[in-house]
Amino acid sequence: MEYYRNIHRYFKFNINLFEKVLDVQKNKRIFKISTDKQTYESKNLVIATGFYDIPIEMNVLGENLLKVRHYYKEAHEYAFRKVLIVGANNSSVDAALECWRKGAEVTMVIRKNEINNRVKYWVKPDIENRIAEGSIKAYFESNITEIRENEVEILTPNGKITIENDFVLALTGYKPDLNFIERIGIQLSDDELKIPTYNPETMETNVEGLFLAGVVCGGMQTHKWFIENSRIHANLIVDYITAK
């Protein structure tokens, strides 16, 4: 983020923050983009909406309680509290370690029998050692079955248990807003991956002048693209548009 902020400080891009795109219509060759603040017109349009705005829910009783959060921001609020973290991927592991280091009593509930292999290689030994030494309690092959105001019920391989709880961080993944992608005319693959249609050489979708960039290109395959490997999308798009 520091790096990208500095790019903006240098180039002074025209960035409109806190503005949601609601609809895109194409009239002849011009896109009309309606946001919650105003309307824009453009000959070309790049969609780079990522996948972080819609959390994947656990669908358990009590998930709607205010103490259940699908986003982790910072650890201080959780100091001296009983925090249950669901998941074993990068977000959950970062949250577990930070909360524990700030004095929270951390328990993890993990569906599989290990920490996910996608966890950054320099972080994975840290969480595994904290679990092994008992600083962070982890229930593997387990699922939350119900969340109540002061406790949580977990189904473990040894049966159902109830533990005291103040907060649940359900970092169970996110999914792209594929309704938005489809609504603006981009075709998705028929299978469960819902990959958007685009030309990998130009990033242009099935709608002429409408491009995709970043992790949204992966559809439900949200781990396919990340910062390092999707940076090339911008070059492909700009080269194609300027050559046209």
Site residues for ligand FAD per CB under 6 A: 20-21, 48-50, 52-53, 90-91, 94, 177, 180, 214-216, 226-228, 230
Asked if 99 and 73 count as a contact pair (C-beta separation under 8 A), the reply is no
Distance CA 72, CA 75 (A): 8
Instruction: Tell me which residue of 138, 77, 125, 141 sits closest to 104, measured CA to CA.
Output: 77
Nearer to ligand FAD, 35 or 206 (CB): 35
Nearest approach, Cβ of residue 145 and ligand FAD (Å): 26
Nearer to ligand FAD, 99 or 154 (CB): 99
DSSP track, 43-79 = S-EEE---S-SEEPP---BTTTSTTEES----SGGGT
Instruction: Tell me which residue of 140, 117, 146 sits closest to 58, measured CA to CA.
Output: 146
Instruction: Tell me 181's DSSP state.
Output: H
Nearest approach, Cβ of residue 135 and ligand FAD (Å): 21
Nearest approach, Cβ of residue 69 and ligand FAD (Å): 14
According to DSSP, the β-strands at 151-156 and 159-164 are antiparallel
Nearer to ligand FAD, 89 or 145 (CB): 89
Asked if 144 and 154 count as a contact pair (C-beta separation under 8 A), the reply is yes
Asked if 169 and 86 count as a contact pair (C-beta separation under 8 A), the reply is yes
Nearer to ligand FAD, 148 or 231 (CB): 231
Nearest approach, Cβ of residue 22 and ligand FAD (Å): 7
Nearest approach, Cβ of residue 146 and ligand FAD (Å): 27
> Which phi and psi (to 5°) does residue 145 adopt?
-110, -25
Q: Which residues pair with 187 in a beta bridge?
A: none
Instruction: Tell me which residue of 181, 132, 125, 146 sits closest to 64, measured CA to CA.
Output: 146
Nearer to ligand FAD, 40 or 52 (CB): 52
Nearer to ligand FAD, 16 or 150 (CB): 16
Nearest approach, Cβ of residue 156 and ligand FAD (Å): 27
